[in-house]
Chain A
Amino acid sequence: MTIDPWAMAEQNPARREALAYNARSFAGDVWFRFSKKPTALTGMTLVVLMALFAVFGPMLTPYDYDKQSLSMGNIPPYFAAVSAPEPDRFFYVTANMKVIETDGQGRLIRQLTKKTDDFAASRVSFEYNGALVYLDYGVNPPVMLDPDGRPLTAGKRLWNRSYLLGTDHLGRDILTRLMYGTRISLTIAFVAAAVNMVIGTLYGGISGFLGGRTDAIMMRVVDIISTIPLTLYVILIKVTLSSGLSGIIIALSSVYWVDMARVVRGQTLSLREQEFVLAARTIGTSRRAILVRHLIPNAMGPILVTMMMLIPSAIFMEAFMSFIGIGIAPPMASLGTMCNDAVEALRANPYQLFLPALMVCLIMFAFNFVGDGLRDALDPKLRK
């Protein structure tokens, strides 16, 4: 059988307009590309996990962010203890030469009461169950001595079961403070992002859509704001405001929208020349409706990406301000204040700085990954 290359093709009106591939909605399309990127998915998982940690974590811990027990300060999550004269009891000597009694599982019981400190003999005595035990600091590291003056050598490494991630200098639970700190960071992230998105989008949208002299004036204002580093503005604004969460949010929201305004203006400038805007105008749509219902939704991709990229810098800014001492008021925990508290004791208790710093890193990574993934997913040029 031969095929006539010039025969008429079968006419099928039903299939004429059909597409050769599966149509996906815009959102579905974005999700498809987003989910194909492992870093983006990792970032999103991390964000969700951290949100759960911050929101539900405090319900599960027996401590509060400002609950202090001064005698249990500066105890790390993992420590080496020596056996006490009593069975199943251990002594842990802190970096500040205090002696903590623990049980065999690593639960902290109490701080021993110091009786005397004989500097000449380099020996501190502590009361322990009616007898005296000694800490000899003439040797390095210091050694615990039993009531008869014999060194206590047997011992083991224990995980801190009372405070899973250890305590800070005032004996507050670091895990609990991390939860509250993360909560502050995430609150700042979402509130600052939302406020900046609203202000930036409207400002940029109006500027771009109206054009002409209005645009020139509005953009010069943005230029003036951005000539000075935003960090400087935020610090200056913060100094005059009350200390607290609202102060930081106001400080961040008042200047961080300039990037957003620029992006939206650029988008609006190109979109407003397109035919659908002309069409809308011809049927008498108001300018306000054109801006809000047509232009801004069409610029949503870049807006979302800018917003996601703004979140990490807002979080970092809050941590930075708290770190230099003008952020969240104590005793509230913020990752920045936790780092600040720990810096001085860096050599004695490094875990106090490491944990909040790690948390800041994780949050920054997570949001950057999500932002990156979103940018790629929203870019039509990368469509495969």
Chain B
Amino acid sequence: MTKRIALLLAALVLIGSVALAAPAQELVFALQNEPDGFDPSVTNNSFASPFLTNVFEGLVTYDTTDGSMIPGNAESWTVSDDGLTYTFTLREGLKWSDGSPLTAKDYLYTFKRILTPETAAQYLNLVTDYIEGAQEYYDGAGSDEALGVKAPDDRTLVLTLKTPAPYYLSILTMWTFSPVQQATVEANGDQWTNKPDTYIVNGPFKVEAFNMGESVVLVKNPEYYDADKVKLERITFRYITDSATALMAYEAGEIDGSRGFPPNDYARLRASDAGVVMEAAYATTYYDINNAKAPYDNPLVRKALNLAVDRVSLIDNVIQTPALPAFSLIGPGYVVDGVDFVEGRSNFGLSETADVEGARAALAEAGYPNGEGFPTLQLSYYTNDTIKKVVEALAAMFTENLNIKVEISNEDWAVYYDNIQAGNYEVAAMGWGADYLHPMTFLPLLKTGDANNLVGYSNPEYDALVEQAQSETDPVAAMEIMRKAESLSAEEYPLLNLYYRANTMLLRAKVQGFYFDYSGSIFLKTAFIAE
């Protein structure tokens, strides 16, 4: 009997101690898909972002409390007066996760690796467009001396730009500019990202296990220079492709957070305080209108399409997640001297709800009174649940408000994107998320001859303004020029802008100290599980 009581007491003490102990610093987070690669120099896949931003760190990074840009691997930096030369001083004693020292030579190696055609870096243009001698180096015509990346000693890295680009520091926060270790890449080739042993990183976390098609497990990296501040011991990124399944796992307590959940459940989840985290995204959802094809080469037709759309109803009733109606390409978020880029901007003649009379008048002026004689509009989209809903709603709005016929077609992304690039479309679903927090990430989309200008819009005045803005070093003056460029294009309605997106995710309230940025990346460096 005494034995039993003793056992019982022991059990009680055990249960009590478990309940009283500090919460385990472990986090399970669901990603919607497996990234197409784990090599920071190569991939531009957004599914890789929550992962790469936590295992690698570049020269500059974000403060996880307010999102301001702070030194990362670089301790400090100076910019030359002409705005062309950036000199970075690396922190002392930086180490790779295998304990070996990390030096400016590693950064130099990373830049050269990106500029090697065999690497097939998907963000190549972020280097070749800006760095002196980079394009030539990539084409094989350059040399180490002519390349604008130098490492004079182990702690100094010098970058030389082609033209002054005051926003280049924000570009440098991207994972593409995280260093990779020469030793492991050369010893293992492409396979270096496949095994935890060979996947040498420099961020707050390192990989413990790659479980193909299932999950990636991260643990704290003791060699990280700021390891004292890292509180989470273990992060598991699970791949749950179906958002409804992810929500079920979340509600059952299997996971602590998820990047995706069904929009239909948004209102309910928010109301029940289930942990919806929302951050305005620097991203715009728009539809490409083929400016090179009749009748869409007529700005009046494009205006009519823009006027026929009820953006508020689309946001409230169709996408059902927070968003702001968009009348032009660049959304709010970029602030200089306390003034947002979009402050005081006109609506370009558009309204939040549909302006049916205005739309019909514009169409009549273009030569199609009451939609008569207008050819069937081909509305294309790529296979995606949310986009399908938006497309169906748009089709109904065009049919009803403009009295034209609409035909919907869809393809898988790869085929779809080829068709768009070939100009083989009329009106097509598209969107652009900022690569860095600066309007310049959007403006080239309408510049003549730019690889990302898919609508065939061309306006020499606009092109000149964009080029002028690219080399303007004063941010206030640059903003004025960019505003001018934007309104110049917006008055010709090259795109059908619908809304500025917000990023949403589910994360339990007990997870604190994280930073969710405008591009949807989650920085978990200082995150912790509260009681």
Contacts and interface: CB of A to CB of B under 8 A. Distances in A.
Interface of A: 66-68, 70-71, 73-74, 95-98, 114, 122, 137, 140, 142, 169-171, 239, 242-243, 325-326, 329-331, 340-341, 343-349
Interface string B301-324: 000000000100110111010000
B187 interface: no
B264 A66 contact: no
Interface string B372-412: 00000000000101001101110110010000000111101
B313 A344 contact: no
Interface in B315-343: 316-318, 320
B268 A344 contact: no
A137 B271 CA distance: 5
Contacts of B80: none
B272 interface: yes
B71 interface: no
Contacts of B395: 66, 330-331
B267 interface: yes
Interface of B is mostly: helix
A347 B317 contact: no
Contacts of A98: 316
B318 A96 contact: no
Given A70-B310, A330-B410, 7 more contacts: A73-B318, A325-B388, A344-B243, A344-B244, A344-B385, A348-B265, A349-B264
Contacts of A326: 383
Contacts of A347: 244, 247-248, 262, 264-265
Given A70-B313, A329-B409, A348 B268 contact: yes
Contacts of B271: 97, 122, 137, 140, 142
B381 to A, nearest CB: 9
Contact of B264 (A95, A140, A242): A95
A97 B262 CA distance: 15
Contacts of A341: 385, 388-389
Contact of B389 (A71, A122, A169, A348): A169
Contact of B396 (A68, A239, A340): A68
Given A325-B383, A344-B243, A347-B247, A71 B409 contact: no
Given A71-B317, A140-B272, A344-B244, A331 B396 contact: yes
A242 B247 CA distance: 35
A145 to B, nearest CB: 14
A96 B243 contact: no
A131 B150 CA distance: 69
A70 B356 CA distance: 16
A73 B409 contact: no
Given A169-B389, A329-B410, A348 B262 contact: yes
A28 B470 CA distance: 86
B268 A97 contact: yes
A343 B317 CA distance: 17
26 contacts: A67-B396, A70-B313, A70-B317, A70-B318, A71-B313, A71-B317, A73-B318, A96-B320, A98-B316, A169-B264, A170-B389, A170-B392, A171-B317, A243-B409, A325-B383, A329-B409, A329-B410, A340-B385, A344-B243, A344-B263, A344-B264, A346-B262, A347-B244, A347-B248, A347-B265, A348-B265
Contacts of A171: 317
A327 to B, nearest CB: 10
A96 B410 contact: no
B465 to A, nearest CB: 38
A329 B264 contact: no
Contacts of A344: 243-244, 262-264, 385
B396 A66 contact: yes
B357 to A, nearest CB: 20
**Chain B interface residue number, banded:** 35 or more
A98 B315 CA distance: 13
A73 B396 contact: no
Most chain A beta-carbon neighbours within 10 Å: one of B264, B395, B410 = B264
B265 to A, nearest CB: 6
B408 A329 contact: yes
Contacts of B408: 329-331
Contacts of A142: 271
A68 B393 contact: yes
Contact of A243 (B316, B317, B410): B410
Given A122-B271, A325-B383, A96 B388 contact: no
Contacts of B243: 344
Nearest to A70: B317
A340 B318 CA distance: 16
A348 B272 CA distance: 14
A279 B216 CA distance: 76
Contacts of B314: 70
Nearest to A95: B268
Contacts of B399: 66
Contacts of A96: 264, 266-268, 320
A379 B383 CA distance: 47
A181 B63 CA distance: 53
A311 B427 CA distance: 38
Nearest to A345: B264
Q: Which are the 3 A-B pairs with shortest beta-carbon distances?
A: A137-B271, A345-B264, A70-B317
A341 to B, nearest CB: 8
A233 B271 CA distance: 47
A344 B410 CA distance: 19
A66 B272 CA distance: 34
A346 B244 contact: yes
Interface in B103-151: none
Contacts of A239: 412
Nearest to B383: A325
Interface string B212-254: 0000000000000000000000000000000110011000000
A330 B395 CA distance: 10
A333 B267 CA distance: 27
B317 to A, nearest CB: 4
B456 to A, nearest CB: 24
A342 to B, nearest CB: 10
Most chain B beta-carbon neighbours within 10 Å: one of A95, A96, A114 = A96
Contacts of A325: 383, 388, 410
A348 B263 CA distance: 10
B391 A330 contact: yes
A97 to B, nearest CB: 4
B355 to A, nearest CB: 17
Nearest to A111: B317
Nearest to B310: A70
Contacts of B396: 66-68, 170, 331
B318 A170 contact: yes
Most chain A beta-carbon neighbours within 10 Å: one of B263, B268, B317 = B317
